């Protein structure tokens, strides 16, 4: 059986639905980390980083890759 790779846009949308801390790499080389918000109607996304107090908006088609990373706010909580 052949497994199809998910597109970066699909991975982004799945992460946005789960409100995970992710790393988003854009086609222009920017690397963003934080929680993701998506607007499916406008086909845009936003990465909000509460630690750095930053917010970045972009078109979903500009995503090169998305991966889940550990949430730095949870480090040391056990």
* 8-69: CATH topology: SH3 type barrels. (2.30.30)
3 pLDDT more than 80: no
- How are beta strands 54-59 and 44-49 bridged, if at all? antiparallel
Residue 1 and residue 40 in contact, taking contact as beta carbons nearer than 8 Å: no
pLDDT at 12 over 80: no
Residue 4 pLDDT greater than 80, yes or no: no
Kindly report, residue by residue over 14-65, the tens digit of the pLDDT.
666 566 789 999 999 999 999 988 888 899 999 999 888 899 999 999 999 9
Distance CA 50, CA 12 (A): 19
DSSP letter for 6, please. P
What pLDDT was estimated at residue 16? 60
């Amino acid at each position: 059986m052949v497994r199809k790779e998910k597109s970066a846009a699909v991975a982004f949308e799945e992460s946005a639905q789960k409100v995970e801390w992710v790393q988003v790499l854009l086609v222009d080389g920017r690397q963003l980390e934080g929680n993701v918000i998506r607007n499916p109607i406008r086909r845009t996304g936003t990465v909000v980083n509460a630690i750095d107090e930053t917010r970045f908006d972009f078109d979903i088609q500009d995503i090169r890759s998305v991966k889940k990373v550990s949430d730095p706010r949870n480090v040391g909580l056990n």
